[in-house]
Structure 1
């Protein structure tokens, strides 16, 4: 059985994945991370656990042969819970979820939980590893210091920078944790006075030909190009933008593969920019990033390849 850890609003990507497993007669279990709470019965022992979900479906950890950590959401607290107990509720269920996940670390995962947690939560770590593997990265500062940010702007940004939050501000209905990238120009610097209350990542604005969303699956690449050369972030692009299939240079593929291997990740959604200077700039990798638009619009068999990779590693593991 393959365990898929996702969330209650997930669809399309997950449906294709399950349909493919069903076509191969491989059993699976869907565990909604946001509903891993009072709605489920969970018993964790020294070497195993048993879980009954909100629909009455039960499985035992010994049945699980592999895990796809598709996407994790914040655990939901019950509306009727007194606010003073909510923090305790979330802390304890968060601890229970962590214990449950790590009890399965001896079997194949996409991606190994601790590796993913380290990479996903540290953009500067990603940039460091990318540069070490011969990828071009933008100059970067993560700071709450108005003076140092201003110095960085004048030294590296040639009058135009981007600023973005490292973490999460809001969750959209589609499941994406979204924050649009902000463009900073000379006249914007006077608005940095409150940066001490909200540190941000700053980078020079890259004049680009287009943006790339690259889905990496253990050495295989599914790359989509969006014809966005104007907006700072394709996720807030207007109508008229579209995806097309793209073939990365072999040297970039080799460097990305080397980077992902060093991070210990089997898959991830990688964002890059093709600059007008001809360079390919690595921005970030999101181990749980979105790729449904590439499967839907370009016909890439991404869900199927994720399943194949996990099945092959399960067979090798056994």
Structure 2
């Protein structure tokens, strides 16, 4: 039987891929790392069809040729998008070429006959939509925060008043803007609404925003699901003012992280949620309230996990490795 061959789609400097890639190699798997950002400059793609139905799918680059039909599992990590060839100097033409390259790769991955983690691109991109996630979570019996998604300032003021000002806002989809000013990246996490913010509420008409009631927290849970395995971690975010509203303002020197055992019904609900979303991997964010309710926030279908693994000892990398090998 041929050795497993895992194709990893990711950019440079990805310690998560490095960690799992080393585990795969220890188990005898062939690991190919491909960053679409190198296509078409450093890599070439060939897709061929014959009249009798045979198909050829090849990647060439880095001194090797990869027959994609030998790939036994595909892992989406953090690939960068194709960049236009530097010889294309007309911006519109360069942008068109980059879009065409992206379209080819997306179509290519979609039809590879192998398991994919977290899922095929069309599935995991659709699964990341927050409004749909909230609707599904509520359907499955999760408690969810009272939520408004709007571009209407008047609707925002009504929601704000109904909750006596105890509300937070966050971006609808992407929490950062790249290329601001001198090429900076601006990140927008969950923020409480201050009286000063109300003066700028008219800005909602330019872009949708999620507005939610501020849910009291005993602690927060990062629930990483790999296949049918669940790795739940407690984040004691309330011990630090920095992380109290959003634990992504990491304060790991102060904030304890510990393994957590979910109640059986909550664990089953998490697995059903992932199954309905079509994901074999994802990270579910929950709030555990002082009263013991588990409140659903969102699912990240391509989340980081090494920091949880390092702080809690939960063997998430091993589980990803095993899942990719099992898919093979």
- The TM-score normalised by the length of structure 2 is 0.86
- Equivalent residues in 2 for 1:157-176 (5 A)? 157-168=163-174, 169-170=176-177
Which of 19, 23, 32 is equivalent to 1:20? 23
CA RMSD of aligned residues (A): 2.2
> 2:284 aligns to what?
270
Counterpart-to-counterpart distance in 2, 1:248 and 1:36: 43
Kept in 2, the 8 Å contact 1:7–1:34? The answer is yes
Q: How much does 1:181 deviate?
A: 1.5
Looking at CA atoms only, which structure, 1 or 2, has the larger radius of gyration? 2
Which residue of the partner structure matches residue 72 of structure 1?
79
* Counterpart-to-counterpart distance in 2, 1:131 and 1:165: 20
Structure 1: which 5+ runs fail to align?
none
Note the 1:136-147 alignment, pairs <5 A. Answer: 136-147=143-154
Residues 46-84 of structure 1 show CA distances to partners (whole Å, capped at 9, x for unaligned) of 43321123x223201111111111233333445664333
Aligned to 2:306: 292
Residues 235 and 255, structure 2, Cα contact 8 Å, conserved in 1 = yes
Checking the alignment, whether the CA contact within 8 Å between 2:118 and 2:301 is kept in structure 1 is yes
In structure 2, distance between residues paired with 1:268 and 1:296: 18
Summarize the alignment of residues 110-149 of structure 1 with structure 2, pairs less than 5 Å apart: 110-113=117-120, 114-120=122-128, 122-149=129-156
Contact 1:215 1:222 in 2 (8 A): yes
Give the Cα–Cα distance (whole angstroms) in 2 for the partners of residues 217 and 147 of structure 1.
42
Change (3 A) 1:16 1:184: same
For 1:77-96, list aligned pairs within 5 A: 77=84, 81-82=88-89, 83-96=91-104
Structure 2 CA distance, aligned partners of 1:192 and 1:281? 27
2:262 is equivalent to residue 248 of structure 1: yes
Q: For 2:17, what is the secondary structure of its paired residue?
A: helix
The 1:282/1:146 distance shift into structure 2, 3 A limit, reads same
Q: 2:84 touches 2:95 (CA, 8 Å); kept in 1?
A: no
* 1:198 matches 2:207: yes
Name the structure 1 match of 2:274: 260
Return the alpha-carbon distance in structure 1 between the equivalents of residues 186 and 264 of structure 2: 32
- Report how many aligned residue pairs link the two structures: 306
